[in-house]
Amino acid sequence: MDDAGWLALACDLATLCPPSRTAFSVGAVIVGADGREIARGHSREADPHDHAEEAAIAKSGGVLAGATVYSSLEPCGNRASRPRPCAELIVAAGARRVVFAWREPSLFVAGTGAEILAAAGVELVELPELADAAREPNAHLLAG
């Protein structure tokens, strides 16, 4: 599968999230350098405070050297519910690339994940053609 296919899967995973008025619904897939899926996750999967990337990293064992993280939303750079934002978790795990569909709107916190990842040398790829699919499970937050 190519970047668009993996990212479309991440966007589909976001639809599995229990809706929240205080957090985005996000899906994430981690793919190894060999092109095989390592793990996947979605927001609020096992805990009301889980972020998608965090859930997927936890399932992966946390060592992602050379991996690509596909996330429907730009990984968070600020976080109210946990001490480390997803961008820092991704850097610490050693992923080399992050592919995302939608830049985080500053509805809850400022979207600074891309800057944190870029500063750490992680390659960023934004596929805005999938942004509508990433926004769809979040329509209740964006209305009005």
- Spell out the domains of the chain, with CATH numbers in brackets: 3-142 (3.40.140.10)
Find the catalytic residue in 37, 45, 53, 88: 53
126 given a catalytic annotation: no
Nearest to 10 by CA among 47, 37, 46: 37
Between 46 and 83, name the one with better pLDDT: 46
How much of the chain, in percent, has pLDDT values that exceed 90?
81
Query: Could you give the strand order of the β-sheet that contains 27-31, starting from the edge strand earlier in sequence?
Result: 37-42, 27-31, 68-73, 97-102, 123-126
pLDDT tens across 21-40, in order?
Answer: 999 999 999 999 999 999 99
Q: Using the CB atoms, write b or e for 93-125: b if 16+ within 10 Å.
A: bebebbbbbbebbeeeeebbbbebbeeeebeee
pLDDT tens across 62-80, in order?
Answer: 779 999 999 999 999 988 7
